[in-house]
């Protein structure tokens, strides 16, 4: 029986029913199979070995495509599980998907795996690869599959099959050599197709991601189409390590986290504080331009107020409390409460709205020890927080204005970001009706303004849904910085009202929002983003003056004075060292400009700026250099 198979180039070939997808592909293009890992049959992914018996369209999944790489990595995870079960008898397997940049597999084994075990596992993997076992797909009736995995004591697999929806009658398994795994597929044709892989790390991971479940051992690894791509990736990891903000924070003398002071608490050194000051100063001005008013609330507020807001009930675990004169106070984990009280201090008219209260508010949250991470996850941090109280009709334009603000701010720093809409979580306050209103308000604002977003179900704050802006750092990790949260509940709980045009009392809506998020976290991301080489406007030290010999010091002093008088952040480096040494030191400190002062400059009354990138601006009068730096600051370069 003949059938017609079509390909993406619109070529249609006739083939006998019963040939495999792989055979069909080589009939179409004899070279296409070389880099093929799987195939889409009528847009559904399938193995190259899958048998065709009706008219269909085929589309090769190339190893160099994102999809192909996923399939390759997933197959490598099977090979790793295979190897682990051979090397460590009695290991139970659970799940092993491909992930961004690699794959992992979760195991249960009596003893902890260490990175030293990787050598043995990798060796066994290489054996499996050179044996070139084909990946063989088999379909089993659900009950049979349960029996099969139960007989092999693979409890996790049994649980997975049991939990499949009841309409699933048949499951697929894949075999390579004497290993078998429950798997949807597809897989690469055989283990020999694997050319480049490496195991990277081992870590604990809860079964099914639930902390109530047993903790399994997760081995992370990665794989690529070829050795070179793998090495490029490993080099990239090394480069990323070099721009780790914790390392740069030390090297550039920006901040410390001191064991004696406490975990998750940042101590800013002069240079780190200068960076912070520059960011905050810029940000305050930007807020004032946009109709925000600066306010400030206290660090601690009586516990009853936290009960009123719902924080006590829903956020207590993350809060610190203290006793003063037999009264319990909560140390603020959020800034909204004082802002509510400011609103309530007067009778408000619809003409007053929107009110935009802005505070660089320092908050404390009791984060679990295991999650603390440099500047990115801390216990005390300062948010560039604002609460906007407005009428429901004003929501849309306010949200738009915030989204524009975020876009502008991210542009200044050159960050890419993605937008997510997070909806009602399991633990929440307020009515479902208000939640719907709030969620719709956010969604409509996104849609009206044609902002692309994805939905994060159940990820909202306890008092309202939110729009999250996730920016990407050097390691391509996504960090939540800006967020907009829509809240109908707190105005209700605090009985906030305004007098409308109709003379009646109405309830305002509140938007919580941050632009940079936490200043600490933002700085961490910023350090990695710039690899410590801050643009001129943000550099704690903008230029460093290097003397060639001691006799140039008096003139260098006059240059230093002119620069500092002009508001340029300059440093002296007049030590008795060779120029090359000083340049090296300045280079390591990533200072934007080095001003070399020698005979030529002294005689001509100039400076010779060497730029951080190694280029040279030649001799410039000091005033000209000052103008240049000022222009850079003006342009936020």
Q: Active-site residue numbers?
A: 336, 365, 383, 385, 387, 466, 512
Q: Which of 514, 527, 626, 633 binds RNA (CB under 7 A)?
A: 514
Stretch that binds RNA, among 23-31, 211-219, 354-362, 495-503 (CB under 7 A): 211-219
List, in order, residues 6 or more apart from 349 with CB less than 8 Å away. 498, 499
Closest approach of Cβ 229 to RNA, in Å? 20
Closest approach of Cβ 86 to RNA, in Å? 21
Tell me which residue of 456, 301, 481 sits closest to 375, measured CA to CA.
481
Closest approach of Cβ 195 to RNA, in Å? 25
Can you read off the two tokens belonging to residue 312? 């006590």
Cβ-based nearer residue to RNA, 20 or 587: 587
Closest approach of Cβ 247 to RNA, in Å? 7
550 binds RNA (CB under 7 A): yes
Site string for RNA, 365-404 (x = CB under 7 A): x-xxxxxxxx--xxx-x-x---------------------
Q: Which of 218, 276, 332, 529 binds RNA (CB under 7 A)?
A: 218
Cβ-based nearer residue to RNA, 56 or 516: 516
Long-range contacts of 12-21 (CB under 8 A, 24+ apart): 15/52, 17/52, 17/53, 17/54, 18/51, 18/52, 18/53, 19/51, 19/52, 20/48, 20/49, 20/50, 20/51, 20/52, 21/46, 21/47, 21/48, 21/49, 21/50, 21/51, 21/52, 21/58
How open is the CA angle 115-119-122, to the nearest 5 degrees?
110
Written in H, E and C, the secondary structure of 272-334 is HHHHHHHHHHHHHHHHHHCCCEECCCCCEEEHHHHHHHCHHHHHHHHCEEEEECCEEEEECCC
Between residue 290 and residue 329, which ones bind RNA under the rule CB under 7 A? Answer: none
202 binds RNA (CB under 7 A): yes
What is the DSSP code string of 351-381? Answer: GGPSEEEEEEEEEE----GGG-BTTTB-SEE
Under DSSP, is residue 504 helix (H, G, I), strand (E, B) or coil? Answer: coil
Stretch that binds RNA, among 217-225, 293-301, 433-441, 442-450 (CB under 7 A): 217-225
Between residue 451 and residue 510, which ones bind RNA under the rule CB under 7 A? Answer: 459, 461, 468, 479-481, 483
Q: Are 92 and 107 in contact (CB under 8 A)?
A: yes
Between residue 232 and residue 291, which ones bind RNA under the rule CB under 7 A? Answer: 244, 246-247, 250, 257, 259, 262-264
Cβ-based nearer residue to RNA, 173 or 481: 481
How far is the C-alpha of 327 from the C-alpha of 322, rounded, in Å? 8
Site string for RNA, 413-452 (x = CB under 7 A): ------------x---------------------------
Cβ-based nearer residue to RNA, 195 or 366: 366
Closest approach of Cβ 360 to RNA, in Å? 13
Closest approach of Cβ 101 to RNA, in Å? 10
Closest approach of Cβ 270 to RNA, in Å? 15
Q: Which of 201, 235, 327, 431 binds RNA (CB under 7 A)?
A: 201
Closest approach of Cβ 206 to RNA, in Å? 4
How far is the C-alpha of 302 from the C-alpha of 107, rounded, in Å? 48
DSSP 50: P
Stretch that binds RNA, among 36-44, 68-76, 428-436, 513-521 (CB under 7 A): 513-521
Strands 606-611 and 478-487, by their bridges, are unpaired
545 binds RNA (CB under 7 A): no
Between residue 557 and residue 616, which ones bind RNA under the rule CB under 7 A? Answer: 576-581, 583-584, 587-588, 594, 596, 598-601, 608, 610, 614, 616
Between residue 60 and residue 99, which ones bind RNA under the rule CB under 7 A? Answer: none
At residue 75, φ and ψ (nearest 5 deg) are -65, -40
Q: Between the CA atoms of 544, 547, 553 and 554, what dihedral angle is there, to the nearest 10 degrees?
A: -70
């Amino acid at each position: 029986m003949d059938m017609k198979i079509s390909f993406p180039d619109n070529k249609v070939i006739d083939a006998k029913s019963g040939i495999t997808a792989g055979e069909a592909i080589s009939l179409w293009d004899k070279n296409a199979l070389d880099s093929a890992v799987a195939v889409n049959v009528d847009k559904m992914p399938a193995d190259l070995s899958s048998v065709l018996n009706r008219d269909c369209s085929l589309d090769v999944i190339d190893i160099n495509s994102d999809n192909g790489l996923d399939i390759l990595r997933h197959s490598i995870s099977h090979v790793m599980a295979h190897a682990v079960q051979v090397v460590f008898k009695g290991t139970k397997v659970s799940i092993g998907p491909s992930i961004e940049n690699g794959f992992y597999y979760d195991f249960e084994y009596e003893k902890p795996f260490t990175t030293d075990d990787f050598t043995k596992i990798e060796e066994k993997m290489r054996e499996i690869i050179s044996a070139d076992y084909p990946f063989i797909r088999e379909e089993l009736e659900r009950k049979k599959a349960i029996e099969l995995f139960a007989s092999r004591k693979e409890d996790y697999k049994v649980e997975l099959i049991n939990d499949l929806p009841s309409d699933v009658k048949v499951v697929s398994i894949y075999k390579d050599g004497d290993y078998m795994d429950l798997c949807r597929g597809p897989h690469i044709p055989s283990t020999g197709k694997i050319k480049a892989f490496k195991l990277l790390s081992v870590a604990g991971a809860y079964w099914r991601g639930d902390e109530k479940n047993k903790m399994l051992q997760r081995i992370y690894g990665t794989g690529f189409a070829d050795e070179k791509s793998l090495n490029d990736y490993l080099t990239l990891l090394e480069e990323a390590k070099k721009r780790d903000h914790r390392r740069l924070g030390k090297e550039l003398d920006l901040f410390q986290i001191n064991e004696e002071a406490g975990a998750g608490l940042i101590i800013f050194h002069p240079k780190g504080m200068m960076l912070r000051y520059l960011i905050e100063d810029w940000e305050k001005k930007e807020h004032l331009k946009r109709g925000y008013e600066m306010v400030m609330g206290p660090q601690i507020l009586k516990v009853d107020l936290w009960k009123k807001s719902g924080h006590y009930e829903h956020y207590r675990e993350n809060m610190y409390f203290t006793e003063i004169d037999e009264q319990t106070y909560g140390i603020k984990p959020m800034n909204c409460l004082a802002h509510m009280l400011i609103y309530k201090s007067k009778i408000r008219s619809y003409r007053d709205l929107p009110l935009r209260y802005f505070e660089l508010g320092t908050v404390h949250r009791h984060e679990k020890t295991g999650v603390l991470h440099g500047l990115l996850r801390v216990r005390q941090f300062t948010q560039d927080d604002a609460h906007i109280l407005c009428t429901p009709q004003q929501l849309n334009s306010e949200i738009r204005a915030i989204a524009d603000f975020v876009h502008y701010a991210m542009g200044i720093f050159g960050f890419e970001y993605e937008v997510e809409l997070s909806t009602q979580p399991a633990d929440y306050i307020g009515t479902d009706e208000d939640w719907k209103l709030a969620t719709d308000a956010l969604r409509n604002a996104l849609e009206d303004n044609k902002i692309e977003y994805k939905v994060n179900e159940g990820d909202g704050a306890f008092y309202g849904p939110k729009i999250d802006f996730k920016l990407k750092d050097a390691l391509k990790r996504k960090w939540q910085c800006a967020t907009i949260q829509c809240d109908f509940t707190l105005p209700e709980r605090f009985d906030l009202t305004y007098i409308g045009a109709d003379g009646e009392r109405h309830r305002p809506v509140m938007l919580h929002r941050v632009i940079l998020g936490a200043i600490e976290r933002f700085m961490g991301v910023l350090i990695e983003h710039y690899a410590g080489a801050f643009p001129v406007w943000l550099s704690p030290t903008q230029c460093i003056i290097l003397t060639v010999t001691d006799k140039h010091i008096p003139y260098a002093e006059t240059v230093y004075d002119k620069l500092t008088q002009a508001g340029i952040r300059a440093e002296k480096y007049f030590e008795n060292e060779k120029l090359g040494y000083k340049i090296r030191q300045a280079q390591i400190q990533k200072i934007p400009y080095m001003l070399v002062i020698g005979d030529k400059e002294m005689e001509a009354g100039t400076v010779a700026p060497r730029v951080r990138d190694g280029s040279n601006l030649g001799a410039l009068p000091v005033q000209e250099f000052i103008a240049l730096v000022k222009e850079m600051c003006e342009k936020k370069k």
